[in-house]
Amino acid sequence: MSPRLLLVELTRLRWRRAVLVLLIAAVVLPAVIALARIWSTRPVSESEIQSVIDSNAQQISQCVDHPRRMGLPPGSTEQQCTDQIVSWYTGREKLSLARERTGGAGMGVVAVLTAILLVAATTFVGHDWASGSMSNQLLFEPRRGRIWTAKALAVTLVSLLTAAVVSTAYWLSMWMTMKVRDLPIVDGSLTDSLAYGLRGAGFAAAAALGGYALTMLFRSTVATIGVLFVVSIAGGLLIALLGLSEHWQPQKNVAAIVKNGTTYYVDVPQSCYSRPRSSEPEPDSECDERRDLSAWGGVGYYGVALVVVMGASVVSFRRRDVP
C-alpha cells in the first residue's frame, strides 16, 4: 500500500460531513462530562451554607434541645448541630482521580468515545457502498487488498488520535481542577489516569476498526449497527442464561483492558460456606469467590473476535463482486 493511497483515504474521511459531525461530538460530549463532574464536585460556598442555616433554623434549634435525635451525643453545641445539618444538605464528594478511574466518569468517557468512533467508521465506509463509489475507487486502484488496508488504516489512525487527545484532555482537566482546589493528589495518580485514558483510546480505535471491518463485510451501515446492537444486548444475556462465568461478560473484559486488570466473581462449592466467618479463603483457592482478569485476558477476548471479523471482511471484499 502506498502512502499516497492512505492520504487519499484520510482526505476522503476528513471531507465526509457525517464523520466530521461525529468527531465533533467525540470532543463535545466528553467535555460536557468533564464540566458536569467539575460542577458536581465543586466546593460548598459560604452563601450555600448560610442559605441552609437560614432555611433550617428550627431544625438546628431542635437539634440543640435533642441532639441524640440527630445522631449527635448529648450536650452537643449549637455549632455541632449546625455542622451536622449543613453536611446533610451540602455534602458533595471531593474530586479524586482514583475515584474517577474506579467508579467515576472515566469509563463513561471511554464508552462515549467507543460508540461515536465506531459509528463514524461504519458511516465512512457505508457511504461508499450506498453511493456506489466503491466501484469507481477500484477503477483507480484495482488491488482490493490495498483499498481495504488504506481505509482501515485511515479509520484506525483518526480514531486513535481523536480518542487519545480527548482522553488526555479529560484527565488533565480533572488534575488541574484538583490542583486549583488544593485537593491532595496521590503520587503517580496523574500518570495512572493518563495511562487509563490511553488504554481506553486504544480500545475505542480497535472498536472503530471492527466496525469498519463489519461494514465492509455487510456492505451496509444499518446492517452493521443492527448486528452490533443485537450482539451487545443479547450477548451478555445469553452468557448469563448459559450460566457462564463473569469472565466471559463483554463489560468485564472492557474493564480489564481499560483498568489494566479487574476482578470477577465465581460460584464456589457449598462446602465453602460452612467455614468459620472469621477465616478468609486463600487467594485463588476453590473457596475464593474473586478471580483476577488481566488486561491481556481482555485483549485476547476482543482480539480474537476482531481478527476473525477482519479476516472474513478481507476475504469477502476480495472475492465478492462489487456493484
pLDDT tens-digit series, residues 291-305: 788 999 999 999 999
Residue with the three cell numbers 488533565: 172
- Flag whether pLDDT at 191 surpasses 90: yes
Taking residue 194's Cβ as centre, other Cβ atoms within 10 Å add up to: 18
- Both 128 and 231 in one domain: the answer is yes
- Both 177 and 33 in one domain: the answer is yes
pLDDT tens for each residue of 49-70: 788 888 888 888 888 888 888 7
Cα 261 to Cα 67, 115, 178, 271, 299, distances in angstroms: 47, 22, 26, 29, 11
Smallest CA-to-CA distance from 297 within 268, 271, 266, 258 is with: 258
Pick the last residue of a domain from 56, 71, 90: 90
Smallest CA-to-CA distance from 211 within 199, 201, 222, 200 is with: 222
pLDDT-derived band at 127, boundaries 50, 70, 90: confident
Q: How many CA atoms lie within 13 A of 26 on its CB side?
A: 31
> What distance in Å separates the CA atoms of residue 133 and residue 19, rounded to the nearest whole number?
17
Q: What is the predicted pLDDT for the residue at 76?
A: 80
Report the chain's mean pLDDT, rounded to a whole number: 86
- Flag whether pLDDT at 306 surpasses 90: yes
- Flag whether pLDDT at 271 surpasses 70: no
- Both 63 and 201 in one domain: the answer is no
- Both 279 and 143 in one domain: the answer is yes
pLDDT tens for each residue of 225-247: 888 888 878 777 777 777 777 78
- Both 79 and 134 in one domain: the answer is no
- Both 299 and 175 in one domain: the answer is yes
Pick the last residue of a domain from 71, 90, 109: 90
Return the ∠ at Cα 277 (arms to 275 and 282), rounded to 5°: 65
- Both 77 and 197 in one domain: the answer is no
> What distance in Å separates the CA atoms of residue 265 and residue 94, rounded to the nearest whole number?
30
Q: What is the predicted pLDDT for the residue at 244?
A: 74
Query: Residue 80's domain spans which residues?
Result: 46-90
Phi, psi of 56 (to 5 degrees): -125, 30
- Both 82 and 207 in one domain: the answer is no
Number of domains present in the structure of the chain: 2
Q: 70 or 185: whose pLDDT is higher?
A: 185
Residue 17: partners with Cβ closer than 8 Å, 6 or more residues away:
none
